[in-house]
Amino acid sequence: MSRGPGIWQRAILERTDQGKALVLTGPDQTHADQNAIRRAAHKLAGAGRIKLISRRFDGANRLVAIPADMPAPEPLRVTGLDGKTYLQPPRYSA
């Protein structure tokens, strides 16, 4: 039986409850920690406590947690060389 949010979930909620966006994973974390953080974040997002968005930082896509009541920036529509329309996430400035 669950006893409430786990260690990573509490850490994520501490930041997002203050109204701050939080980059969840980075190159300084182990693979196991990254997986645990992602799993915790997806559980919180599924429960409606946070929103998850993807943003590009330093040339790599990163998972970002934002408070559930914060509006996520709209992706930009760009046309590729093949003539198709793609959604490009806007630059996120933290």
Domain boundaries, the chain: 7-88
Residue 79: what pLDDT?
75
Per-residue pLDDT of the chain (94 residues; tens, 9 = 90+): 567 788 999 999 999 999 888 889 888 889 999 999 999 999 999 999 999 988 777 777 788 899 999 887 776 677 777 777 776 655 544 4
Level-2 CATH architecture, domain 7-88: Orthogonal Bundle (1.10)
User: What is the number of other CB atoms lying within 10 angstroms of the CB of residue 92?
Assistant: 17
For residue 82, the surrounding DSSP H or E stretch is none
Separation between Cα atoms, residue 68 and residue 47, nearest integer Å: 10
Residue 90: what pLDDT?
57
Residue 12: what pLDDT?
93
Residue 93: what pLDDT?
45
In three-state secondary structure terms, 50 is: strand
Q: What is the DSSP string of 4-32?
A: S--HHHHHHHHHHTTT--EE---TTS-HH
